[in-house]
Chains A and B, each alone.
Chain A
Amino acid sequence: MDKIEPRQSPMDDPLNVLKEFTAARIAIGRTGASIPLKQSLAFKLAHAHARDAVYSELDIDGITANLQQFELPVLHLHSQAAYREQYLQRPDLGRQLNEESIGQLTDRTTSGVDIAIMIADGLSAAAVNSNAVGLLKILIPQLQTAGLKLAPICLIKQGRVAIADDAGIYLNARLSIILIGERPGLSSADSMGAYLTFGPRPGLTDESRNCISNIRPHGLTFRPAAKKIFYLVQEAFKRKLSGVALKDNAGLLSEP
């Protein structure tokens, strides 16, 4: 058998000292030309977490039970994407509510509300399963204290960001906030995004929204995330807009 090459062990990698400067997978050593097994399996595990997150399911029962504390009605909605494989290939279907969901919303047409809060699986149900309620525990009391009227909370399966436009108009909401699972990265399978849209209506594009990204315990934590969202809500109502124009002037958003 050949002698094991000195650089096989990443411990011996002369570039170990550089690791403090980046989270990139540097100084991982090599065996022959190839990545050592330990590093290869670590990568595989990270990818497995991301893949599992993509196929995770929205925990309707768990989230609904946890939302009871806010004493708001909870609605269970579904996009036109019937299953995950279709969701992944047809983003257009994930942006629209199915007929049954529209029926549910039109049956209960009310006078307008200020804010419609929605929770959708997006590309990682795991992200909202673990982060949505924690964020809302801080955010909803703030919104209620400010005297803002909230719509029923909508849980949406197989939803994309723009489904908030569809739901927002049926809920007669002045502003929508959708909490949604972001595309999982190798280092973060549980990252949640919050998208805020003033005057939600079908046909809007991303430049009409403000996004707070990477909400999770090891990213942007709940309290600062809620603070940013609450700030954006106030500014959006004050200036009657959201999106690029709002973000440009929000000094608070540049804070870490």
Chain B
Amino acid sequence: MQYHHTIGKKTYRFSDLKTLLAKASPHRSGDVLAGLCAESYEERVAAQITLADVPLKIFLNEAIVPYEEDEITRLIIDSHDNLAFSIISSLTVGELRDWLLRDETDTLILKNLSPGITPEMAAAVSKLMRNQDLIAVAKKCEVITSFRDTIGLKGHFSTRLQPNHPTDDPKGIVASIIDGLLYGSGDAVIGINPATDSPAEVNNLLLLLDTLRQQFDIPTQSCVLCHITTTLELIRKGAPVDLCFQSIGGTEQSNASFGINLALLDEAYQATLSLKRGTIGNNVMYFETGQGSELSANAHQGVDQQTCEARAYAVARKYKPLLVNTVVGFIGPEYLYDGKQIIRAALEDHFCGKLLGLPMGVDVCYTNHAEADQDDMDNLLTLLGVAGCNFIMGIPGSDDIMLNYQSTSFHDALYIRKVLGLRPTPEFEQWLIRQGISDKHGKPTTQPDSRLLKEMRALWIK
């Protein structure tokens, strides 16, 4: 279907929905690199005005990646809940934006709507929204998940403790974990990016994390972020796998470049569920995404990077994940050039994910060749705290010495909890109090006198 809009004497034509979505996207380097972005400020707004008038029903009939060619499109269409959709089925994209912002559109209505929203609808409406709108609507969403603690409750803010080490040295990793726990970090997960994907090494790390967790009875879950095939192999060998991790993309081709497909994800999901290691809940998957990964794999199929990202959330929600993390600034300046683009992308991802019913966290991060610094990350962190983001990363001093990028520090999480009055998960907070890491009001103590600290020497594992 062709779309067009006239401004003054100029008529802008958009050959299909995919093109319209791309041209309506706020400017970012990845869409320029892909040759998809609007060619002028005016064309971008013309596309947004055009997009505002597109009925949502069109999205169910015009696939932006052909149904026959892409299993994610098939997943999106085949799993679409028409009943949930009915409340917005008569609206256009622009009307949806206004409807989402209405006071009457509350947490429960948004929760019930989520299976009726497709990723493309979420992406489309986000393109018409200012940062403020993205925050206001996301804040109304509440996506709660659980395994050994309860993540995503309003008023709570969690962290993934990320104790990476360049050679996976167990002592180095444990040193960072202890540091992080004493700052109240790790209630979303203690998750290591391993330096190698070798099953034996990954197994050692899993055992290390599990021993530590059990020794101190920490109400959290652990994860080693290896390839899903490695996790599957280790599950079969009886390794203590709490969460199954995988990076995912929004096209079948991009997932092929990650060495995965839906059948493999199904298999890994079932295998991890069967371990029944969760004590209070059974959300067992941990997914990571990030705008630009489809383009980077040359698998974007002419779709802008933000819409591709939203499509990845269709993959994620099939598996009721505990955590979905958009690693927003890791990919580099050829996709998100500066602090402004990183912040915008993070707010879009958080909004789209939440609207689609996902427990969204954000890796608030940047690389040294991006035009960004700690001030940009402080801005983003604060915005996400206000928006009700489920979790961020916790890394010693913001400096990941294995992945060579900068993310949020343990201190950053304390800051956001303090200024916005947010707390760790209820179960984890009780543990922090029992450990003497927090006082009885949940405030971090100045000199933790915890068992963890006293017994840390007993932790050294061969």
Contacts and interface: CB of A to CB of B under 8 A. Distances in A.
A35 B409 contact: yes
A154 interface: no
A31 to B, nearest CB: 9
A18 B368 contact: no
Nearest to B446: A5
Contacts of B448: 14
B357 interface: no
A20 to B, nearest CB: 9
Contacts, number: 124
Q: How large is the interface on A (under 10, 10 to 19, 20 to 34, 35 or more residues)?
A: 35 or more
Contacts of A109: none
Interface residues of B, number: 46
Nearest to B182: A15
Contacts of B395: 24
A50 B368 contact: yes
A14 B175 CA distance: 12
Interface in B419-462: 444, 446-448, 453, 456
Contact of B333 (A32, A34, A89, A187): A89
A190 B179 CA distance: 29
Interface in B160-207: 163-166, 169, 171-176, 178-179, 182-183
B404 A185 contact: yes
A19 B369 CA distance: 28
Contact of B334 (A51, A89, A183): A89
A183 B368 contact: yes
A88 B165 CA distance: 28
A252 interface: no
Given A21-B169, A47-B406, A33 B368 contact: no
B230 interface: no
A50 B183 CA distance: 28
Interface string B15-57: 0000000000000010011000000000000000000000000
A256 B125 CA distance: 53
B178 A18 contact: yes
Interface stretch (B267-275, B309-317, B410-418): B410-418
Interface in A217-249: none
A47 B376 CA distance: 14
Given A39-B397, A90-B33, A33 B411 contact: yes
A33 B418 contact: yes
Contacts of A183: 367-369, 404
Interface string B289-311: 00000000000000000000000
Given A22-B401, A30-B411, A47-B373, A91 B175 contact: no
A112 interface: no
Contacts of A21: 169, 171-172, 174-175
A185 B406 CA distance: 9
Nearest to B183: A30
Contact of B369 (A24, A30, A88): A88
Nearest to B398: A43
B399 interface: yes
Contact of B397 (A5, A28, A54): A28
Given A6-B447, A18-B175, A88-B334, A26 B369 contact: no
Contact of A25 (B169, B398, B453): B398
A33 B406 contact: no
